[in-house]
Amino acid sequence: MTVHLEVAEGVGTIRLDRPPMNALDIAVQDRLKELAEEAAGRDDVRAVILYGGEKVFAAGADIKEMQAMDHAAMVVRSRALQDSFSAVARIPKPVVAAVTGYALGGGCELALCADYRIAGENAKLGQPEILLGVIPGAGGTQRLSRLIGPSKAKDLIFTGRMVKADEALALGLVDRVVPADEVYKAAHEWAAKLAQGPAVALRAAKESIDAGLETDLETGLAIERNWFAGLFATEDRERGMRSFVEEGPGKAKFV
């Protein structure tokens, strides 16, 4: 298989494994969707890491495969392509991208589907599709502009240029930069900590933020209010508040 899901102690790692550059061909896209949906539904997966290995995250789509496709074929395939990445973005649990080496084109778009991005000092990110005479098609024009703002996104997409880790951090494209050999460790620490948290509340927080960003403030506040009230029916809320009253803040155990 070109993509694997490995689960240990509440953390699921979706690992790209198509050497040498983890090119995102149709088989990889379809497998990503399958494993994202599996991770979303498994109770033993409470947080997720997206990882391409020590050397490269994903250097983009399989250009030879795309070159052979005509307009009619891509009209059909483009929906499946976006659905694959959206399945990752919709995982109702904390998701962190552990980015080493190149994250270009579809690789960058995959990282954008995560809630948090940790990059190695050797990371290079970008949306170079314009250099092929096309535009990002797996969410890049939408998720990138929402993350870093439209003008910065347009600069990257219009020019197709790559940015190193330090510039990606300054742009807000990644959230943390660490030595290249510490990327997975740092991502695992982030995920493992959240895997011990209140699963329903984390899901509520993620959905409130993501859904709220797509609508007006009043509707977003309604989404938040409904989730907030609903959490008062959960065991985790009872446990968290009881622990706070009896033991003080930050000591509740949810797993």
Q: Which sequence positions are flagged as catalytic?
A: 61, 106, 109, 129
Q: How far is CA 84 from CA 6, 116, 128, in A?
A: 19, 19, 20
Beta bridge partners of residue 15, listed in sequence order: 4, 51
- Which of 13, 179, 1 has the alpha carbon at shortest distance from 100? 179
Measured distance CA(255)–CA(198) in Å, rounded:
8
Residue keyed to tokens 């959240």: 194
Q: CA 76, CA 96: separation in Å to the nearest integer?
A: 30
Length reported for the chain: 255
Query: In terms of Cα–Cα distance, which of 139, 95, 111 is closest to 22?
Result: 111
